[in-house]
A and B are shown apart, each in its own frame.
Chain A
Amino acid sequence: MLTAVLVPESLDAARAALADEARPLAGGTYLMPRLNDHATPPTRLVSLRRVGLDGIAVTADTVSIGATTTLARIEDDERLAVLHSCIRSIAARPVRTLATVAGNLFVRQPYGDLAVALLALGADVEIRGGAGPRTLPLDRMLSAGLAADELVTGVRFDRPAVFRYHKAGRRRFNSASIVTVAAVLSVADGVVHDARVALGGLAPRPLRCEPAERALVGRPLDEASVRAAAHAADPLIEPVDDAYASAWYRRRVFPVHLRRALLGH
Chain B
Amino acid sequence: MPSQIVTLTVNGSPQELIAHPSTTLLRALRENLGLTGTKRGCAQGACGTCTVLLDGEPVVSCLVPVVTVDGAEVTTVEGLADADGGLSPLQQAFLDNFAQQCGFCTPGMLMTSCALLRRTPAPTRDEVDEGLSGNVCRCTGYEPIVAAVLDAAGRTSAEVGS
Chain B: interface residue count, which band?
20 to 34
Partner of A98, one of B63, B129, B130: B63
Least CB distance from B34 to A in Å reads 21
Partner of A45, one of B58, B65, B130: B65
Q: Can you name the residue of chain B whose Cβ is closest to the Cβ of A31?
A: B63
**Cα–Cα, bound, A2→B73 (Å):** 24
Contact A94 B62 (CB under 8 A): no
Least CB distance from B118 to A in Å reads 11
| B contact patch SS | mixed
With A37-B43, A174-B133: A2-B58 Cβ-Cβ less than 8 Å: no
**Cα–Cα, bound, A92→B108 (Å):** 13
* Chain-A contact segment, one of B44-52, B83-91, B93-101: B44-52
Residues of B contacting A49 with CB < 8 Å?
68-69
With A28-B64, A33-B44, A93-B116: A1-B22 Cβ-Cβ less than 8 Å: yes
With A72-B57, A174-B133: A94-B68 Cβ-Cβ less than 8 Å: no
Contact B48 A92 (CB under 8 A): yes
Partner of A7, one of B54, B68, B130, B133: B68
Residues of chain A in range 57-116 having any CB-CB distance to chain B below 8 Å? 72, 88, 91-95, 97-98
Contact B134 A93 (CB under 8 A): yes
Contact A92 B21 (CB under 8 A): no
Contact B60 A98 (CB under 8 A): yes
B122 close to chain A: CB less than 8 A: no
Contact B63 A32 (CB under 8 A): yes
Chain A: interface residue count, which band?
20 to 34
Contact B112 A93 (CB under 8 A): yes
**Cα–Cα, bound, A35→B23 (Å):** 12
A143 close to chain B: CB less than 8 A: no
Q: Can you name the residue of chain B whose Cβ is closest to the Cβ of A34?
A: B44
Q: Can you name the residue of chain A whose Cβ is closest to the Cβ of B1?
A: A4
Q: Can you name the residue of chain A whose Cβ is closest to the Cβ of B131?
A: A93
Least CB distance from B58 to A in Å reads 4
Residues of B contacting A92 with CB < 8 Å?
48, 112, 131-135
Partner of A5, one of B46, B65, B116, B130: B65
Partner of A95, one of B45, B65, B69: B45
Residues of B contacting A47 with CB < 8 Å?
65, 67-68
Contact B68 A5 (CB under 8 A): yes
B75 close to chain A: CB less than 8 A: no
Residues of A contacting B45 with CB < 8 Å?
29, 32-33, 95, 98
B145 close to chain A: CB less than 8 A: no
Contact B43 A93 (CB under 8 A): no
Residues of chain B in range 1-50 having any CB-CB distance to chain A below 8 Å? 1, 20-22, 24, 43-46, 48
With A33-B45, A173-B129: A98-B68 Cβ-Cβ less than 8 Å: no
Contact string against A for B residues 115-131, beta-carbon threshold 8 Å, 1 for contact and 0 otherwise:
11000000000000111
Least CB distance from A182 to B in Å reads 20
**Cα–Cα, bound, A69→B57 (Å):** 14
Residues of B contacting A93 with CB < 8 Å?
58, 112, 115-116, 131, 134
Least CB distance from A59 to B in Å reads 27
Residues of B contacting A174 with CB < 8 Å?
133-134
Partner of B21, one of A3, A28, A36, A37: A3
A123 close to chain B: CB less than 8 A: no
The list of the 3 closest CB pairs from A to B, nearest first, reads A92-B134, A173-B133, A4-B1
14 contacts between A and B (CB under 8 A): A2-B21, A3-B1, A4-B21, A25-B68, A29-B60, A45-B65, A50-B68, A92-B134, A94-B48, A95-B134, A97-B57, A97-B58, A98-B63, A172-B129
Q: Enumerate chain A interface residues (CB-CB to B < 8 A).
A: 1-7, 25, 27-29, 32-33, 35-37, 44-45, 47, 49-50, 72, 88, 91-95, 97-98, 172-174
